[in-house]
């Protein structure tokens, strides 16, 4: 299954602008005329509304509270440090910014282990010592059904480490370079590509090499996905940073930010709605300051549930 009805989210405590990550993330901005406390409160309010929107649709959300010490301004984006797999494996990832490494918390694994079957933990984080990074489903877009992983290389996504992941989990890598509106490498693949069960949202124009671009499009099409192309301007508004989820009733939803939704053309909306109901979430503060959107805030839980007894 490509989609899950269970999501892990981390409720922020110290959310704010992180200058350490801004060096490789062109989407981050400081919010003028707002105090750090006001920014944190706005982010918490947006987070809580997001969780409520998911829960109203029957999606199971495990909410973990961030800890105050050490301060972790990006803890709201857990998909970068953890993936949770159908075979009971949890994978932990090396993070480019030292300030983000404390986001990997054993107590979160312990909490997950109370409700889900955790058979094994694979820890790639030791590669931080070699300055090699692979930031979870920020770096990798996983086509679970076809065992393919798409990744654009950047300071946060190392090709050798990607190959190691693929060998361990049995995926085929498709690697390319993508560039943002400033001509810099796209920092995370999940801002330009989202793969659902029958469709994919792709900013093909970000892949400047024609052969790579056509190979990505052809592979997505061959594996049964309708490719919905977005423009570089829509990429800047997070239209690619979306995630398809489902509920226990089998309904499918595309979770996308309100800003991203408003950037879509009517034909793009119609194409998505053939496959999923669109859930537009207002998270303007989180996007503007944190440089990430809804997909970054959701770590999919594919782990088998423990039997209730």
Higher per-residue confidence, 204 vs 23: 204
* Mean of per-residue pLDDT scores for the chain: 94
pLDDT for 14: 87
Which domains can be identified in the chain, with CATH numbers? 6-300 (3.75.10.10)
As a whole number of angstroms, the distance between CA 116 and CA 307 comes to 9
Query: What is the percent of the chain where pLDDT is above 90?
Result: 86
The per-residue pLDDT for range 74-122, each reduced to its tens digit, is 999 999 999 999 999 999 999 999 999 999 999 999 999 999 999 999 9
Q: Please, which pLDDT band fits residue 307 given cuts at 50, 70 and 90?
A: confident
pLDDT for 15: 82
């Amino acid at each position: 299954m490509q989609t899950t009805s269970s999501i892990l989210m981390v409720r922020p405590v110290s959310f704010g602008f992180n200058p350490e990550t801004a060096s490789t993330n062109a989407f981050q901005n400081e919010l003028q005329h707002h105090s750090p406390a006001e920014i944190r409160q706005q982010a918490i309010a947006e987070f809580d509304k997001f969780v409520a929107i998911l829960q109203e649709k029957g999606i199971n959300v495990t909410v973990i509270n961030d800890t105050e010490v050490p301060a972790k301004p990006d803890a709201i984006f857990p998909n970068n440090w953890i993936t949770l797999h159908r075979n009971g494996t949890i994978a932990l990832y090396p993070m480019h910014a030292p300030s983000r490494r404390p986001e990997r918390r054993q107590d979160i694994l312990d909490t997950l282990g109370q409700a889900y079957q955790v058979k094994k933990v694979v820890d790639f984080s030791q590669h931080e010592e070699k300055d090699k990074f692979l930031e979870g489903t920020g770096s990798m877009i996983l086509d679970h059904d076809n065992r393919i992983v798409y990744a654009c290389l950047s300071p946060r996504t190392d090709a050798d480490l990607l190959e190691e992941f693929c060998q361990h989990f049995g995926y085929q890598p498709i690697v390319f370079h993508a560039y943002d509106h400033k001509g810099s490498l796209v920092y995370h693949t999940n801002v330009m590509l989202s793969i659902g069960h029958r469709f994919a949202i792709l900013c093909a124009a970000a892949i400047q090499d024609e052969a790579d671009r056509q190979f990505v499009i052809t592979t997505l099409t061959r594996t049964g996905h309708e490719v919905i192309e977005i423009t570089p301007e829509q990429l800047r508004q997070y239209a690619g940073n979306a995630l398809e989820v489902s509920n226990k009733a089998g309904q499918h939803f595309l979770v996308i930010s309100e800003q991203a939704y408003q950037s879509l053309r009517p034909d793009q909306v119609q194409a998505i709605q053939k496959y999923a109901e669109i859930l537009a979430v207002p998270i303007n503060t989180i996007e503007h300051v944190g440089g990430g959107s809804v997909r970054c805030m959701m770590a999919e839980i594919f782990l088998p549930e423990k039997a209730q007894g």
